[in-house]
Structure 1
Amino acid sequence: MPSLPVELLLGLYLGLLTGIVPAFVAGSLGFLVRYFTGVTLPGFGVVVLALSIASVQGGLLGLVEPTIAQSPRLLVAVLVVLMLALYAHNQGDKLGAELPRRISLTSIRQRTLSADVVELVGSVGQVTVRPTSEIRDMEGYPPLSPDLRRRLKANSWRLPADLPLSELEARLEERLRTDHDLAAVEIAIDERARATIAAAPPSGSLSRRVSAGKRAVSIATLVPTGLARGDEVTASADDRSITGTVLSVRTDHDDDRVVAPVPDDPADDVATDGGDADGSDASDSVVSTARPTTATAGGPGRVTLAIARRDVKPLLEAESVRLVVRSRGTSREFEAFALLKGEGYAIRRLTVGADGEPEADTEPASMPDVTILAVRRQGSETGSRRHGWVFAPGIERRLETGDEAFVAGPDATVDAFVEAVAR
Structure 2
Amino acid sequence: MTLPVEILLGLYLGLLTGIVPAFVAGALGFLVRYVTGVTLPGFGVVVLALSIASIQGGLLGLVEPDIAQSPRLLVAVLVVLMLALYAHNQGDKLGAELPRRLSLSQLRHRTLSADVIEFVGTVGQVTIRPTGEISDVEGYPPLPSDLRATLRTDSWRLPADLPLSELERRLEERLRTEHDLADVAVSIDEQARASIAAAPPAGGLSRRVPDGKRAVSIGTLVPTGLARGDEVTVRTAKRSIAGAILSVRTEIDDERGAETAETVSDRTEPAVPDGGEDESVPPSSGGSAVASAGGVGRVTLAIDRENVKPLLEAETPRLVVRSRSTNRDFEAFALVKRAGYAIRRVTVGSTAASDEPLSSADVTVIAIRRQESETDDRRHGWLFAPDSASTLEPGDELFVAGPEGVTDAVAEAVGR
What TM-score results when the alignment is normalised by the length of structure 2? 0.72
Matched AA of 1:395: S
Equivalence for 1:167: 166
Equivalence for 2:3: none
Paired residues in the alignment total 364
CA displacement 1:259-308 (0-9 Å, x = unmatched): 9xxxxxxxxxxxxxxxxxxxxxxxxxxxxxxx997443433332211112
Q: Structure 1: state its 5+ residue gaps.
A: 1-10, 260-290
Matched AA of 2:28: S
Shift of residue 111 of structure 1? Answer: 2.0
Q: Structure 2: state its 5+ residue gaps.
A: 1-12, 261-284
- The answer to whether structure 1 residue 28 and structure 2 residue 21 are counterparts is no
| Residue identity (%) | 63
Shift of residue 249 of structure 1? Answer: 2.5
Q: Structure 1 residues 38 and 167 mapped into 2: Cα distance closer, same or farther (>3 Å)? A: farther
Q: Structure 1 residues 173 and 395 mapped into 2: Cα distance closer, same or farther (>3 Å)? A: same
Equivalence for 2:310: 314
Alpha-carbon distance between aligned partners in 1 of 2:354 and 2:82, rounded to the nearest angstrom: 53
SS across alignment from 1:305: strand
Matched AA of 2:215: A
Alpha-carbon distance between aligned partners in 1 of 2:305 and 2:88, rounded to the nearest angstrom: 78
CA displacement 1:363-393 (0-9 Å, x = unmatched): 432x133222211101126x9xxx8211122
Matched AA of 1:126: Q
Shift of residue 114 of structure 1? Answer: 2.3
Higher relative contact order (CA 8 A, sep 6+): 1
Mapping of residues 331-350 of structure 1, within 5 Å = 331-350=327-346
| Alignment equivalent of 1:396, drawn from 376, 389, 392 | 389
CA displacement 1:147-192 (0-9 Å, x = unmatched): 2222222222233333222222122212211221111111111122
Matched AA of 1:364: L
Deviates more, 1:396-405 or 1:329-338: 329-338
- The answer to whether structure 1 residue 416 and structure 2 residue 399 are counterparts is no
Task: Say what the alpha-carbon RMSD is for the aligned residues.
Answer: 4.2
Shift of residue 397 of structure 1? Answer: 0.7
- 2:227–2:289 Cα contact (<8 Å) kept: no
CA displacement 1:182-216 (0-9 Å, x = unmatched): 11111111122221111111111321221222211
- 2:184–2:196 Cα contact (<8 Å) kept: yes
Deviates more, 1:367-376 or 1:199-208: 367-376
Q: Structure 1 residues 421 and 87 mapped into 2: Cα distance closer, same or farther (>3 Å)? A: closer
Q: Structure 1 residues 121 and 350 mapped into 2: Cα distance closer, same or farther (>3 Å)? A: closer
Alpha-carbon distance between aligned partners in 2 of 1:157 and 1:403, rounded to the nearest angstrom: 24
Equivalence for 1:364: 358
Deviates more, 1:413-422 or 1:367-376: 413-422
- The answer to whether structure 1 residue 242 and structure 2 residue 241 are counterparts is yes
Deviates more, 1:151-160 or 1:407-416: 407-416
Alpha-carbon distance between aligned partners in 1 of 2:38 and 2:157, rounded to the nearest angstrom: 42
Matched AA of 1:212: D
- 1:15–1:78 Cα contact (<8 Å) kept: no
Q: Structure 1 residues 177 and 44 mapped into 2: Cα distance closer, same or farther (>3 Å)? A: same
CA displacement 1:233-271 (0-9 Å, x = unmatched): 2112332322212222334445759x9xxxxxxxxxxxx
SS across alignment from 1:354: coil
Shift of residue 43 of structure 1? Answer: 4.3
Equivalence for 2:265: none
Alpha-carbon distance between aligned partners in 2 of 1:140 and 1:193, rounded to the nearest angstrom: 28
- 1:219–1:303 Cα contact (<8 Å) kept: yes
CA displacement 1:113-162 (0-9 Å, x = unmatched): 22333344455443322222111111111111222222222222233333
What TM-score results when the alignment is normalised by the length of structure 1? 0.70
